[in-house]
Amino acid sequence: MQDLNDKITGGFLTALEWNEVPSEIQNVIEALGLVLSSGDLNQLGKAIVGYASAGPFYSETGIANAYVATIIGTKQGLHALSAVTDGAIVRFRPGNVNTGASTLNVNSLGVKDIVRENGDVLSAGDLDITRDIAVRWDQTADDWRVFNSALLTPLILGLERPQEILPVVLS
């Protein structure tokens, strides 16, 4: 879609330009998996809530110490990694507690080690089934680094007071 601000304030829109607006709206709604309906005038709102609430969350289907993460939902194009890039963030809830050193395979991009933020090997219980885990890709070290996901939570939730979030710190 092009920038239409100047045309709206001082010019006119051609039919082609005007048709781009509903096409963009339709793309947002259908990409979420909703079916267009003239009887539902809040579909765009529902789609926006769906996108905002999903974030980059992945389901985990591996076993203890060998985790496999796959993006959840129909919005895969927005958050799904198709290549691992430095700083990429993946959040997931482990299906099993780790018993020591662990690996992660995100979207079938390859098995890589999961380590602590400082590069140390994980200890038993660092990845727990009772809390979400956030990892960041470290391109230089070629591994996933667990980090304090509480620092990311305010950004995802749009919270104004991040101090209300209890941090998850690996001991």
pLDDT value, residue 79:
56
At 146, which helix (H) or strand (E)?
Answer: strand 143-146
Taking the whole predicted model, whether its pTM rises above 0.85 is answered as no
Give the separation between CA 50 and CA 70, rounded to whole angstroms.
Answer: 18
Tokens of 10: 């001082």
Other Cβ atoms less than 10 A from the Cβ of 98: the count is 22
pLDDT value, residue 168:
46
Biggest alpha carbon–alpha carbon distance for the chain = 65
Q: Contact at 8 Å (CB) between 47 and 34? A: yes
pLDDT value, residue 80:
64
Q: What is the 3-state secondary structure (H, E, C) of 79-110?
A: HCCCCCCCCCEEEECCCCCCCCCEEEEECCCC
Give the separation between CA 110 and CA 35, rounded to whole angstroms.
Answer: 35
From first to last of its 171 residues, the chain has per-residue pLDDT tens of 456 556 655 567 778 877 888 888 898 888 777 889 989 988 888 888 877 666 667 889 999 999 999 887 655 555 567 778 888 888 899 999 999 999 999 988 999 999 999 999 999 999 999 988 999 999 999 999 998 654 444 444 444 444 443 444 454
pLDDT value, residue 154:
43
Phi, psi angles (nearest 5°) of residue 133: -115, 135
